[in-house]
């Protein structure tokens, strides 16, 4: 089991089924030729499909555990509710950009690749590069930027 993570413009889907009427908040998969790609099915897209444990380990390793999983005093944690849809804010951008800079300073030799699976920092950097790119893109280009987890 794992997450379906997507970053982008808010889309509201209204389902008027007689058995189960509901409103769904989501975003669509987008493809950018200049977006990060590391040899995965999600290359160049705003979607990512990590396991629960891989994403939690990533968040902890790069200093973003609170950003994703939060605490009682934080109401903007990106994965506090699963499934969920959270508006992206400048606070999210700031924390992710700081984590990106801190990671690069701590691991200056890390390369965003999965080719050498023995180097943990490389895989962490792949996830961080993806997150950094798409959160910044969404906040710069979307009227209603969101982080969605299904």
Do the Cβ atoms of 58 and 66 come closer than 8 Å?
no
Q: How confident is the model over 80-97, as pLDDT tens digits?
A: 888 999 999 999 999 999
pTM, 2 dp? 0.92
Distance of CA 115 to the CA centre of its chain: 22
Reply yes or no on whether the pLDDT at 16 is more than 90. no
Do the Cβ atoms of 79 and 142 come closer than 8 Å?
no
Query: What integer pLDDT is reported at residue 1 of this predicted model?
Result: 79
Q: 87: left (phi > 0), else alpha (psi -120 to 50), else beta?
A: beta
Q: How confident is the model over 124-148, as pLDDT tens digits?
A: 999 999 999 999 999 999 999 999 9
Reply yes or no on whether the pLDDT at 2 is more than 80. yes
Q: Which of the four pLDDT bands, split at 50, 70 and 90, describes residue 24?
A: confident
């Amino acid at each position: 089991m794992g997450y379906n993570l997507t970053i982008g413009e808010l889309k509201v889907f209204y389902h008027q089924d007689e058995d189960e009427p509901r409103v769904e908040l989501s975003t669509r998969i987008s493809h950018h030729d200049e977006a990060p790609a590391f040899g995965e099915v999600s290359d160049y897209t705003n979607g990512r499909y990590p396991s629960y444990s891989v994403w939690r380990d990533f968040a902890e390793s790069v200093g973003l555990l609170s950003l994703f999983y939060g605490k009682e005093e934080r109401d903007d944690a990106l994965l506090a509710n699963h499934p969920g849809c959270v508006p992206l804010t400048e606070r999210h951008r700031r924390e992710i950009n700081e984590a990106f800079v801190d990671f690069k300073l701590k691991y200056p030799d890390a390369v965003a690749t999965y080719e050498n699976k023995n180097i943990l920092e490389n895989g962490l950097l792949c996830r961080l590069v993806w997150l950094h790119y798409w959160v910044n893109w969404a906040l710069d280009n979307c009227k209603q930027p969101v982080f969605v987890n299904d």
